Amino acid sequence: MWKSYFGKDAKIYGVDINPICKGLEEENIQVFIGSQSDRSFLTTLRQEIPPIDILIDDGGHTMQQQIITFEELYDHIKPGGVYLCEDLHTSYWVEYGGGYKRRGTFIEYAKKLIDSLNAFHSEQKIFKPDKFTSSTDSLHFHDSILVIEKNLRVKPHEISSGNQSFDKNTQNIIQRSTVWKFKYKTIYLINSVLRFFRLSSFKWK
């Protein structure tokens, strides 16, 4: 069935820690034996297989396994490819190292990826775009599953077209007034300080 969808030349690469799984190989299916939490093994794996179209992490489901697999193999996904991590509910199970808002879980790790995806819009020097920002198109969170669509991106830019629907002269006059400028600068400064300490914004707009 998968050949009819991906083509007869498509190949599946599997990874398992149990050597017996090597016996499941068949035409166009190759199995590598090793641990998904072993960075050295994953580095060797990258060298032995071509760039990946679709990667499905349905392995041991511990926090270390999920995070290390992502860190070592995400860059090996082709542009236009998909990275899928299953069984994220283990991020809430103590026997897998999980817990609600517990540091080190894959769910908490993945929440930071949301920031990275939007980093092009950051105004703060402390938070800048990274490799993930420029290589990821979208994140899709489902119940127990994270789907990441990979694609090359550049920083968005604004383009205006057409005719204005309203006269901005009145607004410009207001914004040029001394009172407005003082109010704007004062509130802007207050909110900048609050932002530094990650406190809620002072309402101003």
SS (H, E, C) the chain: CHHHHHCCCCCEEEEECCHHHHHHCECCEEEEECCCCCHHHHHHHHHHCCCEEEEEECCCCCHHHHHHHHHHHHHHEEEEEEEEECCHHHHHCHHHCCCCCCCCCHHHHHHHHHHHHCHHHCCCCCCCCCHHHHHEEEEEEECCEEEEEECCCCCCCCCCCCCCCCCCHHHHHHHHCHHHHHHHHHHHHHHHHHHHCCCCCCCCC
The tens digit of pLDDT for each residue in 109-129 reads 999 999 999 999 999 988 999
CA distance 178 to 92: 54
In this prediction, residue 175 has a pLDDT band, given cuts at 50, 70 and 90, of low
The predicted pLDDT at position 195 comes to 76
Burial of 93 (0-12, 13-18, 19+ CB in 10 A): middle
Q: Give the homologous superfamily in CATH for domain 35-150.
A: Vaccinia Virus protein VP39 (3.40.50.150)
CA angle 99, 116, 198 (to 5 degrees): 70
More confidently predicted of 161 and 68: 68
**Residue 205 scores a pLDDT above 60:** no
With a CB cutoff of 8 Å and minimum separation 6, the contacts of 21 are 14, 31, 33
The tens digit of pLDDT for each residue in 22-77 reads 999 999 999 999 999 999 999 999 999 999 999 999 999 999 999 999 999 999 99
Domain ranges (residues) in the chain: 35-150, 167-205
CA distance 46 to 55: 12
44: left (phi over 0), alpha (psi -120 to 50) or beta: alpha
Q: Which of 32, 35, 31, 29 is nearest to 17 (CA)?
A: 35
Question: Which two three-digit tokens encode residue 198?
Answer: 């990650």
In this prediction, residue 178 has a pLDDT band, given cuts at 50, 70 and 90, of confident
Range ranked top by mean pLDDT from 44-48, 165-169, 178-182 = 44-48
How much is the pTM?
0.82
Q: What is the mean pLDDT of residues 9-22?
A: 94
**Residue 188 scores a pLDDT above 90:** no
**Residue 135 scores a pLDDT above 70:** yes
Which residues form the catalytic set? 61
Q: Provide the percentage of residues in the chain whose pLDDT is more than 90.
A: 68
Q: What is the mean pLDDT of residues 158-166?
A: 72
CA distance 111 to 121: 17
The mean predicted confidence, pLDDT, of the chain is 89
CA distance 130 to 117: 9
